[in-house]
Structure 1
Amino acid sequence: MKAADIRNMSVEDLQKKEKELFEELGNLTFHHRIRPLEDTSRLNKIRKDIARIKTIRNEAAAK
């Protein structure tokens, strides 16, 4: 997910997307502990997307 796409989302959409990503991260982490994932880079991509969402949400709150 690109930062420009995230900036175009509303606050409610950002919260919803962040919640979805947290759930997906939890599920993938759980599955990875049971049996290694084929694409472990997905974990890092989700973490970075969550960080982007938090950063942009904080920027908007500071304005």
Structure 2
Amino acid sequence: MNATELRDKTPDQLRDELASLKKEAFNLRFQQATGQLENTARMRSVRRDAARVKTILNEKAATAASEE
């Protein structure tokens, strides 16, 4: 997932994406705790994707606030 794809989405879509990433991060942490996690690099990418979504949400909120 890259930032240009995310910037094309609406804030509601981004919030949905963030919720799904948080669920996935929880499931990955659970798998790691039980020793079932196979792809450990996936945790890092999910964390970074969530941060990317949050950044773009903040950018959109700042843009909307400055326009008013």
- Per the normalisation by structure 1, the TM-score is 0.95
Q: CA offsets, 1:8-59, max 9 Å, x none?
A: 1111100000000000100110011101522100000000000000001101
> Unpaired runs of 5+ in structure 1?
none
- Report if aligned partners of 2:18, 2:53 keep a CA contact under 8 Å in 1: yes
Distance 1:38 1:28 in 2: 10
Query: RMSD value over aligned CA atoms?
Result: 0.8
**How does 1:24-43 map onto structure 2 within 5 Å?**
24-43=24-43
Greater gyration radius: 2
- Per the normalisation by structure 2, the TM-score is 0.88
Question: Does 1:53 find its partner at 2:18?
Answer: no
Distance 1:6 1:42 in 2: 19
Distance 2:6 2:36 in 1: 30
Divergent runs of 4+, >3 A: none
Counterpart residue identity of residue 62, structure 2: A
Question: Does 1:11 find its partner at 2:11?
Answer: yes
